[in-house]
């Protein structure tokens, strides 16, 4: 039972308070399976308690029972005026039982998913999402019955023993059983391309484009209980949107503009202009600094004397250090394919690989 979480919007440049999604229901991260018990992580992995899946369930039950007792004692202390020691962890567990905080739980196997679904039904708390849930297709009816969402990887499998039964049809199968499904990724690169992850629900499962796109737009908003404000383009909702250069499920699509709360945070055209401006400024600074660098290297080369190249021909040590064929080719900008590193050590001053300049 991990830390409390705050829903955010990626308002670039804002401080921590500015990133918060105002009014979003708070959550908490739970976890099941091998990541928790770690009993198969080797002989040195003995610090976790409990080290069985059954023990994990009992720890959760004990915590919720303790939270109820805590709240009863707290309410009694308020009535009598007696001192009472505050426990923030049990207060968060109490918020879960009252429905003021929703659970997002890391899970893989059908047995542990089914266990937690029964626990949620028994204690009456809300599960926003079973995350990863790679065997969710086996217990999709049970997830739909308690109103839990499934936030799955699109097609990861077999990266550890727990996920050997993962299939790429998991998302579409849960969707057809009535589960609100989204796709996520633990990978920092794939997480920037969730539009093409959503496209896999078209390939594996035959979903319509609109339904597949909901896996990374409206459905995650429903799972976080913020779909009244975001997740789709409708009157009255926040103006959070992306303008694509092509169909958003296409691997050829590029984000042309990104808007959050009606403010443009990214423009591909503006980004191109800034890149060009930065490149020009870089070249200007290199041109300004390079003469002094050449003087310093030449002085050092003169002090070291002449050396010989592999063919036995003599040439000044400076030009060998700069990677130039001869002193006459001293211009570092005459080759259009030259890439000049601003902090080069003399060896990487000219990195032409096309052979257009004969060097």
The DSSP H or E segment spanning 94 is helix 88-98
Give me the pLDDT at residue 47, please: 86
DSSP state letters, 148-208: -EEEE-SS---SSGGGTT--TTHHHHHHHTT--EEE--SSTTGGGGHHHHHHHHHHTT---
| CA-CA-CA-CA dihedral for 92, 96, 99, 102, to nearest 10 | 100
CA–CA–CA angle 143, 146, 147 (5° rounding): 80
In angstroms, what is the C-alpha Rg of the chain?
30
Distance CA 157, CA 180 (A): 21
Tens-digit pLDDT profile for residues 289-348? 988 888 888 887 766 655 544 445 444 444 455 544 444 444 444 555 555 455 445 555
Are 169 and 208 in contact by the 8 Å Cβ rule? The answer is: no
Please give the average per-residue pLDDT across 87-94, as a whole number: 95
Give me the pLDDT at residue 349, please: 54
The residue behind tokens 């989204």 is: 182
Integer distance in angstroms from the first to the last C-alpha of the chain? 62
What is the sign, positive or negative, of the torsion defined by CA atoms of 264, 266, 271, 277? positive
Helix and strand numbers (H, E) in the chain are 12, 11
What percent helix, strand, coil does the chain show, rounded to 5?
Answer: 45, 15, 45
Residue 149 or 328, more confident: 149
Give me the pLDDT at residue 169, please: 97
Task: Classify 241 as helix, strand or coil.
Answer: strand
Peptide bond into 50 cis (omega under 30): yes
Give me the pLDDT at residue 294, please: 86
Please give the average per-residue pLDDT across 36-56, as a whole number: 89
Give me the pLDDT at residue 333, please: 47
Residue 234 or 42, more confident: 234
| DSSP letter, residue 135 | T
pTM, 2 dp = 0.78
State the pLDDT confidence band at 350, using cuts at 50, 70 and 90: low
């Amino acid at each position: 039972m991990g830390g409390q979480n705050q829903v955010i919007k990626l308002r670039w440049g804002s401080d921590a308070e500015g990133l918060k999604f105002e009014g979003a229901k708070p959550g908490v991260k739970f976890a099941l399976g091998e990541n928790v018990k770690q009993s198969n992580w080797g002989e040195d992995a003995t610090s976790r308690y409990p080290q069985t899946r059954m023990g994990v369930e009992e720890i959760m039950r004990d915590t919720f029972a303790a939270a109820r007792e805590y709240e009863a004692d707290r309410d009694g202390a308020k009535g009598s005026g007696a001192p009472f020691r505050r426990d923030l962890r049990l207060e968060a567990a109490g918020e879960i039982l009252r429905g003021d905080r929703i659970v997002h739980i890391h899970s893989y196997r059908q047995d542990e998913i089914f266990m937690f679904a029964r626990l949620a039904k028994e204690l009456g708390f809300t599960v926003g999402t079973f995350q990863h849930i790679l065997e969710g297709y086996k217990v999709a009816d049970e997830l739909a019955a308690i109103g839990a969402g499934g936030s799955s990887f699109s097609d990861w499998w077999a990266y550890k023993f727990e996920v050997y039964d993962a299939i790429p049809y998991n998302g579409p199968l849960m969707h057809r059983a009535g589960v609100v499904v989204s796709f996520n990724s633990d990978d920092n690169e794939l997480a920037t391309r969730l539009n093409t992850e959503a496209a896999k629900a078209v390939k594996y499962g035959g979903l319509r484009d609109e339904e597949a796109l909901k896996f990374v737009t409206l459905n995650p908003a429903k799972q976080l209980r913020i779909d009244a404000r975001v997740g789709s383009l409708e009157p009255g909702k926040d103006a959070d949107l992306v303008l694509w250069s092509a169909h958003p499920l296409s691997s050829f699509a590029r984000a042309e503009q990104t808007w959050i709360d009606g403010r443009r945070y990214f423009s591909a055209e503006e980004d191109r202009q800034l890149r060009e401006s930065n490149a020009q400024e870089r070249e200007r600074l290199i041109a300004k600094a390079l003469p002094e660098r050449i003087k310093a290297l030449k002085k050092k080369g003169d002090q070291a004397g002449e050396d010989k190249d592999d063919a036995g021909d003599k040439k000044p040590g400076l030009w060998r250090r700069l990677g130039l064929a001869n002193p006459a080719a001293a211009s570092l900008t005459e080759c259009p394919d030259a890439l000049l590193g601003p902090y080069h050590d003399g060896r990487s001053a000219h990195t032409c690989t096309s052979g257009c300049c004969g060097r």
